[in-house]
Amino acid sequence: MRPLEFLREECRNVDRALRETLRHDYGPELSAEFYQECASRLEKITRQVQPGAIADADRQKIAVLLADLSYLASLIVLIERSHLGEFSWPFADELRLLAKRILVELDLLGVSSEPIVHVVADGRGYRIRNEDIVQSSSSHRRFAIVLFPRQLKDHVLLHAIFGHELGHAALSSTQIAAAIQSQVYPALGGKLLASDETATSWLRSNEAPAELKASLADYEARYGEPFVLLETIRTLWLHEFICDLFGLLLFGPAFLAAHRSIIEPSHPDPLKVDLLEPTHPPYGVRHAMLVQAMRLLKWHKTITMDADGDVHLAELKVLTELTQDMTSKWARLFSEEELDNAIKGIQSTLSGLGYVQPSQANMVALVGRLKRSLPPILDGINPDGTSKTEKADFRQILHAGWVFWGGRDLLEPRSELSFLQTNQLCNQALLQQRAINEFTGT
């Protein structure tokens, strides 16, 4: 079979695979646009392989079109991998709305284009893969593929970590990435992370942990040269810091709670720098930055008051534990001024999408519902007997969920809910809140 014949055969094969996906059940309004975009890409590729449009001898074009087709085939598989029963679709819905607004881009003629957000569950960790800047020539809209860990189907409290992943997606989007670059990079990358010298001096400073000093000495003895925190690594670290801040500003204290729950267990030594694969800054440095940011945002203070009794005590306990900085001064890589500027920079790029804390009354009401083993939504009865429905942002529900879970020992009566059950109630609340939002048109 000649290369061009194989290319045409592949077009037919991908077309057949795409049509076969039609037999699958799709989530409401979820997969149709994904299917249509795939069909549109395939149609454009097919047009380019018609007789007269491509020469048998044009091997370069045949090769890149084959690669494009192969990529398209891998996307088509994702249609079949999206099963509603494998992830929290109320959470996915909220995430989709955020992602579409954050990742919007303008095209050549100034028309805005939102990504197509496709959700699947996989066996690995949380991920969002935004199609990068070099897209397939045939694409009309970008895909943002959201991957939920299959085993955490109901764990919406942990899903707040998606704030970090949205940050990574934002860094590859032409609109918001440019804004982050101009407003946040200088704030965080200007001092200790500015050069090989400044960053390496920080690693080698007197205040650095003794274990790190020993690791640096071992490295130098083994490789015959000192370890240097190169720009390549510093760029990756800077991205991790920015994405952590992005997640905190987008999801609030629930993000920090999820961040700590998910990441801390894998870092028995929170200040360890993996000198051979330093793709991420030490966990302790990231946590210290988030704690500093919580203070700058005044989120380390309780929303509830003494008069709120057990709910106040629970909130106080959760905040005290969350904002406890277990590391040394060395781990505070950024000054308050640098961090404050970075926070302001990210807030300006979020254009109103950032987290807003619930009112005191709403926090008490949301936690109160969980105390009664009910989904945490804002409900009630008006004086005229009609039901009272109020919008609660889904992130406030997650915040209340963490206050309940972290402070449950102090709540009266004592709750027997497990972490899974707490998550399931919060997941149900997201579902009910979606219905309320649709009913009230908010």
Q: Which residues bind another protein (CB under 8 A)?
A: 44, 47, 60-61, 63-68, 70-71, 74, 77-78, 81, 105, 107-109, 113, 120, 122-124, 127, 129, 132-140, 145, 147, 171-172, 174, 177-178, 181, 223, 227, 230, 232-233, 235-236, 239, 275-279
Number of Cβ within a 10 Å radius of residue 222 = 9
Min separation Cβ 284 and another protein, Å: 20
Closest by Cα among 334, 432, 312, 331 to 376: 432
Provide the token pair at 5: 């014949």
Min separation Cβ 65 and another protein, Å: 7
- Given the complex with another protein, which of 232 and 387 has the nearer CB atom? 232
Min separation Cβ 166 and another protein, Å: 14
In DSSP terms, which residues pair with 381 in a beta bridge? 387
Closest by Cα among 122, 355, 399, 161 to 263: 161
Min separation Cβ 390 and another protein, Å: 39
Query: What is d(CA 124, CA 145) in angstroms, rounded to the nearest whole number?
Result: 14
Min separation Cβ 157 and another protein, Å: 22
- Given the complex with another protein, which of 279 and 324 has the nearer CB atom? 279
Query: What is d(CA 327, CA 296) in angstroms, rounded to the nearest whole number?
Result: 18
- Given the complex with another protein, which of 136 and 323 has the nearer CB atom? 136
Min separation Cβ 88 and another protein, Å: 19
- Given the complex with another protein, which of 94 and 131 has the nearer CB atom? 131
Query: What is d(CA 220, CA 259) in angstroms, rounded to the nearest whole number?
Result: 33
Query: What is d(CA 272, CA 71) in angstroms, rounded to the nearest whole number?
Result: 38
Number of Cβ within a 10 Å radius of residue 358 = 22
Give CA separation, 122 vs 196, 216, 255, 440, in Å.
38, 37, 21, 35
- Given the complex with another protein, which of 182 and 335 has the nearer CB atom? 182
157: exposed, middle or buried (Cβ count in 10 Å: 0-12, 13-18, 19+)? buried
- Given the complex with another protein, which of 113 and 359 has the nearer CB atom? 113
Min separation Cβ 279 and another protein, Å: 5
What is the DSSP-derived secondary structure letter of residue 120? E
Query: What is d(CA 257, CA 244) in angstroms, rounded to the nearest whole number?
Result: 12
- Given the complex with another protein, which of 122 and 310 has the nearer CB atom? 122
- Given the complex with another protein, which of 275 and 431 has the nearer CB atom? 275
Query: What is d(CA 274, CA 269) in angstroms, rounded to the nearest whole number?
Result: 11
Min separation Cβ 299 and another protein, Å: 28
| CB contact at 8 A, 281 and 259 | no
